[in-house]
Amino acid sequence: MRVALHHLSRYRYDRAVSLSPHVVRLRPAAHCRTPIVSYSLKVRPAQNFLNWQQDPFGNYQARLVFPKATEVLEVEVDLVAELTVVNPFDFFLEEDAEELPWRYAPALRRELAPYLETLPLGPLLAQQVEHARSKFARSGRRTIDVLVDINARVHDLLRYDIRMEPGVLSPEQTLAGGHGSCRDFAWLLCQMLRHLGFATRFASGYSIQLKPDQKPLEGPAGVAEDVTDLHAWTEVFLPGAGWVGMDATSGLFSGEGHIPLACTPDPESAAPVSGAYTFVPKSEDDKVEEKFDVVMSVQRLREEPRVTKPYTDEEWARINALGEAVDAKLRAADVRLSMGGEPTFVSIDDPDADEWNTAAVGPNKTRLADALARRMLRRFAAGGVLHHGQGKWYPGESLPRWAIGCYWRPDGIPVWRDMALLQADGNDGAAGSKQAAFGPQAAAAFVTELATRLGVDPTFAVPAYEDAWYYLWREHKLPVNVDPLKSKLADEEERARLARVFDQGLANVVGYALPLARDDDATQWRSGPWFLRRQHLFLHPGDSAMGFRLPLEGLPWVAPSDRVEGVELDPLAPRAPLPAVATTDPIQRRELGGIATRLHADAAAG
């Protein structure tokens, strides 16, 4: 977002006065993180001599000399800024400064000497410094966490008010009153941090706050209108990061709305305008009456469309018209497009848990994902079926992530009719009221029924077992005082794997493998025996499902020239419609398969 800031300071005198050389510190500092597109400074009276300089601390300052007396002094600043979002924590600390305690290197400490000077400790300031040292600045704590806590402490300790009097209150005065302006907040934080060993400087600058597009559900509502003002905050020097802004008035670190103008060890050197005037008195008690006015405003010049402030109705109409024109061209060229999305969900019950922020998996992710998938199935894919399987496999992880797929027919004919037969995640049995224990007996019954439905001999189904010799070998490697069911191995996955296998029992059937193939004419299924070197089918050790751990390399070797390779079907070839209802009639199955085979053959011949 691009904004224009206007700042006019006007000093009026009841008679002509002679102005001494003035110093104006109203130009964004070199370390300003908000991009400044343009900047201008106008001074009246127009007859003046202006020289841009840098003070000993690197701040830009305009030194003005006025050759003639005047009744008005005006300083006008106009700048355009690009309010791109600034992450206040976008930095790295030196390794030895990441945690307390640490000290600045001797050479750096000499350079930072003015920023380490402290005021004498009064009783109130001493109390706050000791509180911060004992509660926040403890050994072993992260430096950033310490600074965040101290910044929040000053913010919570004082009440903010607007104070028009010039100057800055001492930390003792601010603490005694329990309130202060932004200058007082900043100077108090400077001194607290210096007494804790941090180098700090007083920052004077512009603050830009824009009205939020929507009221937040929690926390402060923000400003009612776009506003800008002169502001003050603290900057602390951190090895590796440099100067980092801390705004105790808001309790936040400085961001894109903070535009530093002058940063100095003491507040007096950061005043926006410094100077004096002289006059010829008419009597001993004669005084010049002066008036001071300030005008500050911020205006939005350009806004990018965003979620909280979308396009106008007119813009939406133009976007839709363009989209329809593009669609028309795609249809004319017979182009088909597909689009996928990957939304991210966070549980409202425990949004701060690791599984919703940093961890890949967690105790509730699968359960909530299954519930969400079932809701989406009912709403978008009635009659569909859910498939729980494996998804993406990321480098460095031992297993692929889990994935839930939803499949349905676009013609509306149900693929699955009884949702109660689909097990819900987290249950030992089927969803709903049908709770059945799925074990070896259930697996045997299922594979027998499956073979019968497919018209093959159920005796070809091979029971599979965990590799007893491997796990016995792993057990013998455990310390003598370690129970495999309660293994204390450092590898969490190996520990869970051993406990699960021994708890299940090495002699129990894990599942059944049924060899299947289609006949050449694709009209029926066929099966046969598996010949293995070992008497039984032992799975490869691991956590994956049984189908991923079959010892297929142990099957009889066949020369490449003798292998019967399957021919993949052309995905664009026409196919027969899917049957409306599953059938167990072998004649009907053969008829449907024959139709599909003839269609493929005709397509290949054509």
**Band (311; pLDDT cuts 50, 70, 90):** confident
Q: In CATH terms, is domain 95-216+227-257 a member of 3.10.620.30?
A: yes
pLDDT surpassing 60 at residue 435: no
Return phi, psi of residue 316, to 5°: -60, -40
Q: Which of 101-115, 304-318, 424-438 has the lowest mean pLDDT?
A: 424-438
Rounded mean pLDDT of 430-449? 69
Residues 172-205 have pLDDT tens digits of 999 999 999 999 999 999 999 999 999 999 999 9
Q: Show the tokens assigned to 497.
A: 């794997």
In the predicted structure, residue 489 carries a pLDDT above the cut 70: no
User: What pLDDT sits at residue 318?
Assistant: 95
CATH code: domain 2-84+276-301 is: 2.60.40.2250
Q: Is the peptide bond before 21 cis (omega within 30 degrees of 0)?
A: no
Residue type (1 letter), 8:
L
Residues 175/238, Cβ–Cβ less than 8 Å: no
Which residues neighbour 213 within 8 Å (Cβ) at sequence distance 6 or greater?
306, 308, 309
Q: Which residue has the higher pLDDT, 569 or 506?
A: 569
Query: What is d(CA 123, CA 129) in angstroms, rounded to the nearest whole number?
Result: 10
Q: Provide mean pLDDT across the span 440-449.
A: 91
- The stretch 428-451 carries a mean pLDDT of 68
pLDDT at 588: 46
What pLDDT shows up at residue 53? 96
Which tokens in the block code for residue 175? 């603490």
User: What is d(CA 287, CA 283) in angstroms, rounded to the nearest whole number?
Assistant: 9
Say what the pTM is. 0.58
DSSP reduced 3-state for 155: helix
Q: List Cβ neighbours of 39 (8 Å cut-off, separation of 6 or more).
A: 27, 28, 77, 78, 79, 80
Work out the burial of residue 178: count CB atoms within 10 Å of its CB; fewer than 13 is exposed, 13-18 middle, 19 or more buried. Answer: exposed
What mean pLDDT do residues 69-88 have?
A: 95
Q: What is the pLDDT of residue 278?
A: 92
Q: pLDDT at position 395, please? A: 87
Residue 307 pLDDT grade (very low, low, confident, very high; cuts 50, 70, 90): confident
**Which has the minimum average pLDDT: 30-34, 115-119, 364-368, 493-497?**
493-497
Give the model's pLDDT for residue 463: 93
Residue ranges covered by each domain of the chain: 2-84+276-301, 95-216+227-257, 346-418, 439-566, 573-606
* Percent of all residues in the chain with a pLDDT value above 90, rounded to a whole number: 54
Q: In the prediction, which pLDDT does 495 show?
A: 55
Three-class SS state of 413: coil
Count other Cβ atoms within 10 Å, centred on residue 311: 12
pLDDT at 165 over 60: yes
The DSSP secondary structure of 84-146, one letter per residue, reads ----TT-----GGGSBSS----HHHHHHTGGGG------HHHHHHHHHHHHHTS-TTSBHHHH
Mean pLDDT value across residues 552-580: 81
Range scoring the smallest mean pLDDT among 230-239, 264-273, 309-318: 309-318
- Is residue 253 predicted with pLDDT exceeding 90? yes
Q: What is the pLDDT of residue 519?
A: 79
Per-residue pLDDT tens digits for 211-224: 888 777 666 677 88
